[in-house]
Amino acid sequence: MAQYLLSVWHDEEYEVDFSGEEMQRIVAQVGAFNEKVEAAGAWVFGGGLHPASSATVLEPRGDDISMTDGPYAESKEQMGGFWVIEAPDLDAALEWARQGAAACEGPVEVRPFQGE
């Protein structure tokens, strides 16, 4: 088994309003997907993230570490959440990602973890 990161992406203006009907529908879909991944034994860890504007970046600068507010990547797309799963191969991970993308109604990127 290998581990894969399935990351959920959206544009930087994406607002999470958990009180809205659309978001409640998506939350239910993602919850059902999470339960399916757990029941299959593929679940390692997952979670949603606060907006990229809440990030703090620490970066080495010579002998010091600088700290700045905001996301590191200057991009219109931001990671909004992720799953870490175990799958026998990339094809199986891609199938989980397909189902995750359908559940959260947004793009999901699949990346394998480096081997040990």
Reported CATH class of domain 2-112: alpha beta
* Helix%, strand%, coil% for the chain, nearest 5: 30, 40, 30
* Confidence (pLDDT) at 116: 54
Alpha-carbon gap, residue 4 to 18, rounded angstroms? 28
Token representation of residue 101:
């993308």
For the chain, the structural domain boundaries read: 2-112
Q: What is the pTM of this model?
A: 0.87
18 or 29: which leads in pLDDT: 29
* Confidence (pLDDT) at 20: 85
Categorize the per-residue pLDDT at 99 as very low, low, confident or very high, splitting at 50, 70 and 90. very high
Q: Tell me the pLDDT tens digit for each residue of 33-58.
A: 999 999 999 999 999 988 888 889 99
* Confidence (pLDDT) at 2: 96
Of 93, 92, 102, 104, the residue nearest 6 (C-alpha): 93
